[in-house]
Structure 1
């Protein structure tokens, strides 16, 4: 089971630290947290707003209307709590660094596993194509034989596509997918395509 990004009470204190930097809308707090985690984690509105409401209830933050949005700002009492718990905040920031590395590893592992599966499937399909080309079925013409193998390759690719989409959506449900993940995927796919073409040209 994946451990939580923030331990109990840590997110509340970290929200205070973000508001100590400057007043923010709820969405800006979500974005600031996502930025601190390099895009590997983004809390939901359902996670942030109840904690802001509790902070306001405790007199640690105050809110004001800004057009159609609500801006939250830290109070003197909030700054006093933040100063009193400076050591806890340092510990939270250290835990965040560990969480960023763990989340990045999970994303990377999911993508790498999918890429290994694709390479194995395509290698098997290419090898089968070579074997079948040497020993075509007596009742099959070269054209129909090639068409059948093409359909098999399509099935392999479609299965891989669905697998990767499922893996990415599962990971994205826990934390946003960063640009480096897309870059890794694009690079790996280009490499697989190049190796497949080399295999087919032999």
Structure 2
């Protein structure tokens, strides 16, 4: 969805606008953008970090390490560009309102389609339960005509109970799947941010080492070995 949300160069300007409020680390920037779109648009780490790196290279933002986090802040040069493009920024803000409405409509459409599918599944399950109930009643009538009335009532009650059980089980299943996927997406996004920050910071350190002439093959061999062990450990936890 990201290409349709911001026009060419607009995300770059909007990042300056977000950082003009206060310095933020990568995940906070992503959350700030998500909040402005009411959660209908969440940019990926792969979208945000390359643009932050370009803004840093142009001297429009700075970054510094705060513990395990990399914090980005707008520079005076960044504020000058932001102020020079205020009219363009207002147009972006208006466009965001249109994008939020469009994305919300898409979400509502998806939810409506999912609800229609769920209702169809529940109706089919209810019909199957009633058919099973009628079959049980028919067998009971053939076996004992005198117990036909009682068997029919029992079958209908069983059909209603089965329908309710299917409905409850389906609702619970969809709720559990939704919660699991939502948490999984949040954790994936967090992992992507951590990996992007690690790559960005380590790449800077390696380039500095090259400039000093202190990067040798043993260091890279050690990096390869540790990353291989870390990957194996993480993969084993995921299985």
- Please indicate the TM-score interval, normalised by the length of the shorter structure: 0.5 to 0.7
Q: Which residue of the partner structure matches residue 24 of structure 2?
A: 24
Q: Which residue of the partner structure matches residue 46 of structure 2?
A: 46
Change (3 A) 1:3 1:137: farther
Q: Which residue of the partner structure matches residue 79 of structure 1?
A: 79
**3-state secondary structure, aligned to 1:4:** helix
Q: Which residue of the partner structure matches residue 67 of structure 2?
A: 67
TM-score by length of 1: 0.65
Change (3 A) 1:58 1:3: closer
| 1:122 and 2:122 are equivalent in the alignment | yes
Structure 1 or 2: more helix by fraction: 2
**3-state secondary structure, aligned to 1:40:** coil
| 1:34 and 2:34 are equivalent in the alignment | yes
Aligned pairs for 1:106-117 (under 5 A) are 106-117=106-117
**CA displacement at 1:14 relative to structure 2:** 0.3
| 1:90 and 2:90 are equivalent in the alignment | yes
Unpaired runs of 5+ residues, structure 2, are: 142-150, 186-239
**CA displacement at 1:73 relative to structure 2:** 1.2
Q: Distance in 2 between matches of 1:69 and 1:125?
A: 51
**3-state secondary structure, aligned to 2:5:** coil
Q: Which residue of the partner structure matches residue 210 of structure 2?
A: none
Q: Distance in 1 between matches of 2:113 and 2:131?
A: 27
RMSD: 3.8
**CA displacement at 1:68 relative to structure 2:** 2.2
> Rg: which structure is higher?
2
Change (3 A) 1:112 1:48: same
| 1:12 and 2:8 are equivalent in the alignment | no
**CA displacement at 1:11 relative to structure 2:** 0.7
Q: Distance in 1 between matches of 2:115 and 2:131?
A: 24
1:144-180 CA distance string (max 9 Å, x none): 9x69xx59x85xx76xx57x959x969x97xxxxxxx
**CA displacement at 1:124 relative to structure 2:** 3.9
Q: Distance in 1 between matches of 2:138 and 2:67?
A: 77
Change (3 A) 1:112 1:31: same
Q: Distance in 2 between matches of 1:110 and 1:123?
A: 20
Q: How many residues are paired up?
A: 169
Q: Compare relative contact order (CA 8 Å, sep 6+) and give the higher one, 1 or 2.
A: 1
**3-state secondary structure, aligned to 2:13:** helix
Q: Distance in 1 between matches of 2:87 and 2:181?
A: 37
